[in-house]
Amino acid sequence: MLIRVRRFAHPIAPSEITPQSLYQARRDFLRAAGFAGIGLALPAWGVDKLAGVQKSSYSTSETPTPLINIASYNNYYEFGTRKDSPSENSGQFKTRPWTLRIEGLCAKPRSFAIEDLLKLAPLEERIYRMRCVEGWSMVIPWNGYPLATLLKQVEPLAGAKYVEFTTVADRATMPGLSFPVLDWPYTEGLRIDEAMHPLTLLTLGLYGEELLAQNGAPVRVVVPWKYGFKSAKSLVRIRLVDKQPATTWTKADPEAYGFYSNVNPEVDHPRWSQANERRLGEFLKRKTLMFNGYADQVAQLYAGMDLRKYF
């Protein structure tokens, strides 16, 4: 199979692409092209390598999806609604300076500079299965540490029952914000025990390098047993709250997108089945697994709950 690398003139076979070679090739290409006429600026792709990333027993042993797919087939509506919009339209997006504010029901609310987040805890490689509600999936080697590590810094109070995530909405650099597709800024939420679960990752990198803009740079959350839209990108605020927060996709279509949105092959979307998925790079569909294959780790969070009602 041949795939096209964004607007590059030449098709490249996926087998020829390794993460390292992709970055190098892109840098070389951009340099040779003098950045002219190709519609993107270097910073979005010229990212730094992360030091001292440790392997994790939470990783799947499945083969990671090639970086070219992870970096060019994205949902990030602030940059546009096509799969290639985020990689095409994020060239002006700035990830420095960046602060993440943590506030609400906690003893020590504070703001973290991105430089401090990168140093707060050892970075792990977490190779996670990711499942989009649209029916495609990938295996992504994320880099980060448990969100719990960060939340403990602010000392959540007993009344904190939920966590609300707010993501950046910068009209100057995110062209999709000019269209009222969603109620900006994009917000998401988790129950506090979901947010504190060791699988829930504060994510700062991908394939051993800092996150690309299209994947949610400079910092996002990743919740691998839920549909992808729960994994909010480019976080600017986390708030500890006592009530279930309103979330963007639930506001947009409450019949289709519930607050929990756990991957569940038995609960269909109103317009399509969720029983199967297409792994990017594979031809045949595979069966979608309960909780995206993480049932052993997370099923007890929902013991006694009707998962059709709390979808």
Ligand X SMILES: Nc1nc2c(c(=O)[nH]1)N[C@H]1C(S)=C(S)[C@@H](COP(=O)(O)O)O[C@H]1N2
- Which residues of the chain form contacts with Mo ion (CB under 5 A)? 75, 132, 228-229
77 touches ligand X (CB under 6 A): yes
Q: Does 240 bind ligand X (CB under 6 A)?
A: no
Closest approach, Cβ 230 to Mo ion, in A, equals: 9
Is 132 a binding residue for ligand X by CB under 6 A? The answer is yes
Q: How far is the CB of 87 from Mo ion (least distance, A)?
A: 16
Binder of ligand X out of 56, 69, 72, 75 (CB under 6 A): 75
231 binds ligand X (CB under 6 A): yes
- Nearer CB in complex with Mo ion: 77/98: 77
Q: Which does 144 bind (CB under 5 to 8 A by kind): ligand X, Mo ion, none?
A: none
Question: For residue 97, what are its two tokens?
Answer: 């300076």
- Nearer residue to Mo ion within complex by CB, 163 or 263: 263
- Which parts of 90-243 fold into alpha helices (H)? 114-119, 147-153, 192-195
106 vs 213, beta carbon nearer ligand X = 213
Question: What is the distance between the alpha carbons of residues 181 and 278, in angstroms, rounded to a whole number?
Answer: 26
Extended strands (E) in the chain: 3-4, 11-12, 54-55, 99-104, 110-113, 124-131, 136-146, 162-167, 187-191, 201-206, 209-210, 220-222, 235-241, 276-279, 286-287
Q: Does 232 bind ligand X (CB under 6 A)?
A: yes
Binding mask 101-130 for ligand X (x = CB under 6 A): -----------------------------x
Give yes or no for residue 89 binding ligand X (CB under 6 A): no
Minimum distance of Mo ion from residue 231's CB (angstroms): 8
Phi, psi of 149 (to 5 degrees): -60, -40
Omega before 64 within 30 of 0, i.e. cis: no
Other C-beta atoms lying within 10 Å of the C-beta of residue 237: 18
Amino acid at 87: S
164 binds ligand X (CB under 6 A): no
